[in-house]
Structure 1
């Protein structure tokens, strides 16, 4: 029978068909996807839906191009979410980054032109993927100063280099970034309307006496950015949301290269004080100290994973698309 696959990308759905007994291979699928979306194979990230009754989800990324779709677990009627940018979009992002770097680099002038000159700021801001950014104008105990603090908090999120990096990778754009008021939306943490036309975040505390933790607000923002591509919370959404957070974490690790910062999943262990004898060796050639250190590291890692899993669960419950009657991402 003819194999038909449904490929979704940025809210659009494409049907890919292969003739009966054609035994399509991965490169055939990538070629058909390129025809439909203009995204070349090397920029495609494919996330197939999980097959009912199967213990694992089929994986297409990193597989041999000549592997048949049947070998890779792809079956007729399956849905595949596509992540990626077109070659033109990638070139556009690269041009914007180069232009911004050029604008922000100091001009080289002959020293005769610099005599008596006063330094001035000639840099220009790079094009932001966010449009309008503003605080809610009608919150309790409104003052211009409090409103500016809220707007500054939102601008910090919009100018976060990790957030901008992830948005550039996926060509995301947000029309409006604003806030949700706790008393108006007591059960919501974030809301994405019309696939990024407006994203609203609950940034204030319930008593309006401060702001929520920045790291939590940023994670809610990443969750809402994932809704630019995927409605609701199917398995494909969880895959994408995990990918965005992993890309953000990888960017920040790269930024920290060359320095050692203690974080929640790192444990500092002092030197043994020069003692070199009397060390007990355990399994696999590890010393007792090394085994205890590894056990502590694994305990911290498990606790971190549980905390992040609970946080993501809370964010999902507080997301506008999970509630009946809420504004859906159409």
Structure 2
């Protein structure tokens, strides 16, 4: 007898039919032909748990409507992540200190000094490095972000700008907070991405301080952080409230610098409008994170443990 069900991988659904007596390992081997991900790089989630290789498919009580979630990286993706890690190390160890934008401020309290981003680094070879530095400062000094880090006792060694030439990546957390890299610029390098979307990526990468895999535990914490960052300081969105109606107060502009504005998607530069400005404002004010945003950040995340 055979068993039919579905595998959810990124935004795709893969139909699967296998013998009832097959194992999870057999399923992984079968999935390699569909995804190019070797079995040892695969994690399968079902019912909120990671499936073990020796489990029998018959014991999982699957049906045709069942969907097992696949997480994993192709060898090429792992190689790219390792190369990015190497580039970051080279930049930090070989680049002249004079070319780094680094600020250390005297904290208000000892806890502020401990639970923060201890160093900030931007890319001087790209336009408006001073504005990029101010954007990283804004993330570091964001009242909601600071409150989260203090409450959870998180300390990050360095917050850096991720090169926009790494087109597939939005963010990166190395070794559970040793270093976090965030993409700031639009695809065409003409300006900077919307602050709210950058901060969502930062919260995603901060979640990797606790959970390495993009599983249910990870997404639960990440959603909570997006709610907390608003609840702890709503003004950090750059918004105001007038007659119980939220509206967006655009970021300050500097001469020669453009900001991504209007409607947007999380990972792109400028795109066909998907949501109205009012809907975006309401979502930002509530701290909501959509499934689509979660998927884009999962796909654009280069985090791994060293």
TM-score range, shorter chain: 0.3 to 0.5
Q: Is the strand fraction higher in 1 or 2?
A: 2
TM-score (normalised: structure 1): 0.45
Q: TM-score, normalised by structure 2?
A: 0.48
Work out which of the two has the higher radius of gyration on C-alpha atoms and give 1 or 2.
1
